[in-house]
Amino acid sequence: MKALATARYFKLDSEPTAYLASNGISLIPCDYGGANADRGIDEETLIDLLKGAEAIISGGAPLSRKVMQACSNLRVVSIRGVGCDTVDLTSARDLGVRVTRTPGTVENAVAEFSLLLMLSLARQIVIQDPEVRHGIWRAYMGIELQGKTLGIVGFGRIGRSLLEWEMPWECVFWHTTPAGPILNRLRLERRAHRFASVACRI
């Protein structure tokens, strides 16, 4: 079986490639799957890369009806991540292409990044970093996280990952779809809730 791997960083670790090889799956050589993001691939290039492939391991390649119709051997689209927004799911179903994803692989990383952004805001790192790089040393008064309230909008895997850390704040949860109404409420209550993490589709 031949497969195309365009998901970013997939080939930087030899273990996934070796696992595929041990199960009779050979990867088609391409310039993606390493440091290059595949969201920039145009449809014609992707069609050319997918010639003879029965599967693709994608991070964000545009799997449109046009692409899937042109690649008659394609049977499986595996998304390295949780979002399927770059795959035409209706066309995949019509054409008999199975679409899979990998829940549980990126949620902790997203939650950590959310925490990083909160810390950056609290300590105004985004403002101070470029100033220090230009030789400007200016004192800023940040705020402490101790005693603050964290509002988590959406309580899926990412929201739960945030909860798992023992942080010095009280947590308030809203599980809502869409998130618009609660975001408006947060704006009104922004003095009470100093931080909010939106972990759902807006």
Give per-residue pLDDT as tens, 127-182: 999 999 999 998 888 888 777 777 777 777 888 787 777 666 666 655 555 555 55
Q: Provide the pLDDT confidence category of residue 188 given band limits of 50, 70 and 90.
A: very low
Tell me the domains of the chain and their CATH numbers. Answer: 2-100 (3.40.50.720), 107-198 (3.40.50.720)
**For the chain, percent of residues with pLDDT exceeding 70:** 83
The residues, ordered by sequence, that sit 6+ positions from 115 with a Cβ below 8 Å of its Cβ are: 162, 165, 167
d(CA 168, CA 34): 38
pTM: 0.69
Bridge pairing between strands 98-100 and 169-174: unpaired
Q: Higher confidence at residue 113 or residue 173?
A: 113
State the chain's mean pLDDT as an integer. 83
* Tens-place pLDDT, residues 41-76: 999 999 999 999 999 999 889 999 999 999 999 999
